[in-house]
């Protein structure tokens, strides 16, 4: 079941995210955010969704945040998805992204962007399967775990770019 995330989900979301921060370059953060940090991020973002198993346990989440701070970018979002290891390879990430991208389109966003630390064949494959295309790679842009990492940037069109777009919505 996919639903909007609430502040009550912040602890589980933080727990899912923490190993990505501690053990990988998938996230460029140095320290895992706390549940309170995640609750604040939930309220500051455009939209967060969670996927729950039959018992209601959160097993993954996807979110969208502003792409850039300048006003002309307000129709664009950066998106990301994170899963509990037990949920990988089960279509959870794809389902979360499909729901997220559909909601963003309805809210009036025109472009979604995703940054992927390389190498990450699974994430690149998921994004390509969902219609994202590679727009460029930042070389040696992040230093973590004793290594410089490249980041590939992918883009997917959502609602069409129209002459007079309506203001995009926000479901934070």
Q: Read out DSSP for 91-154? A: THHHHHHHHHHHHHHHTT--EEEEEEESS-HHHHHHHHHTT-EEEEEEEEEEEETTEEEEEEEE
In this prediction the pTM is 0.94
Give the residue extent of every domain in the chain.
2-157
Backbone angles phi, psi at 93, to 5 degrees: -60, -45
Superfamily of 2-157 according to CATH:
Gcn5-related N-acetyltransferase (GNAT) (3.40.630.30)
Q: Is 89 exposed, middle or buried (0-12, 13-18, 19+ CB in 10 A)?
A: exposed
Mean pLDDT of 57-62: 97
Per-residue pLDDT at 19: 98
Position 57 pLDDT exceeds 70:
yes
């Amino acid at each position: 079941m996919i639903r909007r995330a609430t502040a009550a989900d912040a602890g589980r979301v933080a727990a899912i995210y923490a190993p990505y921060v501690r053990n990988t370059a998938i996230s460029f953060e140095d320290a895992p955010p706390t549940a309170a940090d995640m609750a604040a991020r939930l309220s500051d973002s455009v939209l967060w969704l969670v996927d729950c198993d039959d018992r209601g346990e959160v097993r993954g989440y996807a979110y969208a945040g502003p792409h850039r701070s300048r006003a002309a970018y307000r129709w664009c979002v950066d998106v990301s998805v994170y899963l509990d290891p037990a949920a990988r390879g089960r279509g959870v990430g794809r389902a979360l992204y499909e729901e997220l991208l559909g909601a963003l389109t309805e809210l009036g966003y025109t472009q979604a962007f995703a940054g992927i630390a390389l190498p990450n064949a699974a994430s690149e494959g998921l994004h390509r399967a969902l219609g994202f295309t590679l727009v460029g790679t930042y070389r040696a842009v992040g230093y973590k775990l004793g290594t410089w990492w490249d980041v590939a940037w992918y883009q997917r069109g959502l609602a069409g770019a129209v002459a007079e777009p309506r203001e995009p919505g926000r479901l934070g």
